[in-house]
Amino acid sequence: MTKEHRKRLLFGLFLSSGIGLLAYKRRSLSRGGVAGATITGTATVGAGGWPWGFALIFFFVSSTLLSHFRVQDKERTAADKFSKGSQRDLAQVAANGGVATGLALAHGLARSSTTKELLHAGYLGALATATADTWATELGVLSPHPPRLLTTGEITAPGTSGGITPLGTAAAASGALSLGLFSLLLSLKQKGAQYFPFLTLLSGFAGSMIDSVLGATVQAMYYCSTCQQETEQPIHRCGTHTRPLRGYSWCDNDVVNFLATLCGSLIAAGAYGLSVILARKER
C-alpha cells in the first residue's frame, strides 16, 4: 500500500465517521447505518480516490436533506407504505452503496487504465441510480397528481412501490444529472470525464425505472386487514400481522435497491465502453 493510499484511507475514515456521527445525531442514520457509512466511505476514498469519495458525499448529503424535507407531509401521505423511516440502517446503506463500494475496491486493485475507466463509469452508474431513486421517492410522494404503476398505468396510492408521478420522474432525472455534473467538476482532467453527465442521466434514470418495475412486480407487499391498507411491513404499525399481497417475501425494498444499483452500474459501464469503441472508430 502506497503512502497516498494510506493517506486517503485515513482521510476517508475521518471524514466518513464524522459525517456518520453527525447524521446519527440528526436521526438520519441508525448505529448500524453509521458503521455502514464509515466502512463505505473509507473504502471508497481509499481505493477509488478523492472524486469518488466526494461523489458519495453528494449522494448522501442530498438524500439526507430530501429525506427531512416536509417529513410530516410525507408521514401523513404515505407512512404505511414504507418499511423504514428517514433513519437509514445498515441494510439500507449496503443496499444503496454496496455495489458502488465493491466497484471502488475493484478499481483499487485494477492495473489496466481501461478497466479503471470502466469501473469508474460503473461506480457513477450505481451511485446515480441510488441518487435518482432517492430523489424520486422523497419528492414524488409530495406530487399533487396520484401515482400510476409503471407496469400497468393503474392509479395507486402515494408511496406505493412501483408507482411513478411526473414530479418523481423529474426528480429522478434531476438527481442523476446533478451527480454527473458534480462528478465532472471533480474530474475535469480525467479521461472520459466529458461523458459523466450523459452516463449518470442515462444509467441513473434507467436504474430508477428498473427499481420501479421491480417494486411493482417482485417486491413483497402486504395488506393490513385491520386498517385496510397496503404496506411493506409484515407486521403493521397497528400490531396486526399482515397477509401477503404480491411479490416474494425475500424481496424487500433493500433487495430491490441493490438490484437496481447493480443494473445502473452495468448500464453505465456498457455505455462508456460503447462510447470508447465509437470514438476509436472515428479516428
Would you state the pLDDT for residue 11?
87
- Tell me if 233 is assigned to some domain: no
The string over 230-252, giving b where at least 16 C-beta atoms fall within 10 Å of a residue's C-beta and e elsewhere, is bbbbeebeeebebeeeebeeebb
Would you state the pLDDT for residue 93?
93
- Tell me if 228 is assigned to some domain: no
SS3 category, 97: helix
CB–CB of 230/160 below 8 Å?
yes
Would you state the pLDDT for residue 67?
86
Number of domains in the chain: 1
The crossing angle, in degrees rounded to 10, of helices 113-140 and 196-217 is: 50
CB–CB of 97/57 below 8 Å?
no
- Tell me if 107 is assigned to some domain: yes
Range of the domain at 172: 3-214+250-282
SS3 category, 244: strand
Reported as a single tens digit per residue, the pLDDT across 99-135 is 999 999 999 999 999 999 999 999 999 999 999 999 9
Would you state the pLDDT for residue 81?
56
- Tell me if 127 is assigned to some domain: yes
- pTM of the predicted model, to two decimals? 0.92
CA–CA gap between residue 30 and residue 48 (Å, rounded): 26
- Tell me if 255 is assigned to some domain: yes
CB–CB of 36/93 below 8 Å?
yes
Half-sphere exposure of 85 (CA within 13 A, CB side): 11
- Tell me if 230 is assigned to some domain: no
- Tell me if 182 is assigned to some domain: yes
Q: Which amino acid is at 114?
A: T
Would you state the pLDDT for residue 56?
95
- Tell me if 232 is assigned to some domain: no
CB–CB of 131/171 below 8 Å?
no
Contacts for 193 with CB less than 8 Å, ≥ 6 apart: 183, 184, 187
86 phi and psi angles, rounded to 5 deg: -80, -10
- Give Dmax (Cα) for the chain: 67
Per-residue pLDDT of the chain (283 residues; tens, 9 = 90+): 677 777 888 888 998 999 999 999 888 899 999 999 999 999 999 999 989 999 999 999 999 899 888 887 777 776 555 555 567 889 999 999 999 999 999 999 999 999 999 999 999 999 999 999 999 999 998 999 999 999 999 998 888 889 999 999 999 999 999 999 999 999 888 888 899 999 999 999 999 999 999 999 999 999 888 888 888 888 888 888 899 988 999 999 999 999 999 999 999 999 999 988 887 777 6
Would you state the pLDDT for residue 177?
98
